[in-house]
Structure 1
């Protein structure tokens, strides 16, 4: 696609030849010819036993990607984070009556957005997608969402006495308190690395 002085090429291949392509890539160009937007979604392959949704990941990425392409062009003054929120809400509404959207394995995707105008370039990166930006001097910068890298690592097993029996007891406890499975271990002195211990049974 040739747009003024910018050339756009889109290529997408499935990660597994035996599965449909679960990704989405699109470019939006306003009729006025000023600026545009780029949308890239990396669909998350679901487990074999599926999740709470009747729809496939390609169905999800096509609708979310289509909504993002339309919104980023038609609302140039709205921040990208707000437009992503609107696109997610629109996609959720399209199947909320038929699917369990509270299920943790409903279709999902990582996101990379870029929007440009004659005066500026905006971007948004969500999860482990990457956006590469080349400056006029040829320097390439990777724009990343590094929040996953900043999550403290929890040792496994947390303690030597973690046995099959105690693991079963703690698993049952964690199901009752799914949002409080771990807590910081108490230490007599602060240390730079955070340690974690399981909740008691």
Structure 2
């Protein structure tokens, strides 16, 4: 395996709520979600949740290669729940959650799972990309975030509108007609997007948090083919640097309305070719 990993928190000195890890034949990436500065009912925090769930999921993927990925995720969620249900209020509506991207290579096949708005990017042997993202959160968000996008990012008015938006979004979490994400309930794993492709058809596998896909899906300054070129020539750090440059050029969100001026950004790029 040849794997390159890059990750950067939204702000210098701030805790990174993304988590990525790799083991022989498997990789995971999680993007912790919550309401910054708001009560969650959990004494551990969002970064703890994403890293603990990610570590347990990677263990399950490798220790039980015959178990479907969704079952591995459900088991891992149950284990995380058991670790803090005695000290934390897991019925709190803002309890920490996380997106999940997981892949496992075995018997000539790459299995994958995507839950939430992080992205799996597969490149075939001709470097043609195929991106897999769970868009249910985006679809719900588009219906709710109009007032947020009309205000300058970082302004008091934006902060107030963002709090209302996040509160409404939380009410639709892990519900029919809403969106699904890893949290206290292992049943969310049943709603993950899953699939499998022949390993021999792939040149690379890339896992990206939504903070790292902004150049493509929010700023529209690049596409997936160009993203693969950057990753192949310069690696994840260069891709994240370009995201930061774009964010720094629009600190108020006037050109690209968004909830946060900067976001945690993580990329795990796994090259399969010799």
Would you say same fold, with TM above 0.5?
yes
Give per-residue Cα distances to partners, 1:108-149, cap 9 Å, x unaligned: 111111111241011111110001001112101101112335
Give the Cα–Cα distance (whole angstroms) in 2 for the partners of residues 62 and 78 of structure 1. 22
More helix by share: 2
Query: Which residue of structure 2 lines up, in the alignment, with residue 17 of structure 1?
Result: 12
Unaligned runs of 5+ in 1: 30-35, 158-177, 180-201
In 2 relative to 1, CA 70–48 (structure 1 residues): closer, same or farther, beyond 3 Å? same
1:153 pairs, out of 143, 155, 158, with 143
Give per-residue Cα distances to partners, 1:153-195, cap 9 Å, x unaligned: 37989xxxxxxxxxxxxxxxxxxxx89xxxxxxxxxxxxxxxx
2:94 pairs, out of 95, 105, 114, with 105
In 2 relative to 1, CA 115–46 (structure 1 residues): closer, same or farther, beyond 3 Å? same
Which SS does the other structure have where 1:115 is aligned? strand
Query: Which residue of structure 1 lines up, in the alignment, with residue 21 of structure 2?
Result: 26
Give the Cα–Cα distance (whole angstroms) in 1 for the partners of residues 67 and 121 of structure 2. 23
Give the Cα–Cα distance (whole angstroms) in 2 for the partners of residues 80 and 28 of structure 1. 15
How many residue pairs get aligned? The number is 148
**Aligned-residue offset at 1:45:** 4.3
2:28 pairs, out of 39, 42, 45, with 39
Runs of 4+ in 1 over 6 A off after TM superposition: 154-157
Give the TM-score normalised by the residue count of structure 1.
0.67
2:125 pairs, out of 136, 140, 143, with 136
Give the Cα–Cα distance (whole angstroms) in 1 for the partners of residues 61 and 80 of structure 2. 15
Give per-residue Cα distances to partners, 1:32-61, cap 9 Å, x unaligned: xxxx11100011143313211111112111
Which SS does the other structure have where 1:48 is aligned? coil
Which SS does the other structure have where 2:52 is aligned? helix
**Aligned-residue offset at 1:23:** 1.1
Are the equivalent residues in 2 in contact too, given 1:22–1:45 (CA < 8 A)? no
In 2 relative to 1, CA 66–83 (structure 1 residues): closer, same or farther, beyond 3 Å? same
In 2 relative to 1, CA 122–51 (structure 1 residues): closer, same or farther, beyond 3 Å? same
Give per-residue Cα distances to partners, 1:4-57, cap 9 Å, x unaligned: xxx11111111222421111100122xxxxxx1110001114331321111111
Q: Which moved more, 1:147-156 or 1:13-22?
A: 147-156
Higher relative contact order (CA 8 A, sep 6+): 2
Unaligned runs of 5+ in 2: 148-170, 173-274
Give the Cα–Cα distance (whole angstroms) in 2 for the partners of residues 149 and 61 of structure 1. 20
Aligned Cα root-mean-square deviation (Å): 2.2
1:76 aligns with 2:37: no
**Aligned-residue offset at 1:150:** 5.0
Give the TM-score normalised by the residue count of structure 2.
0.50
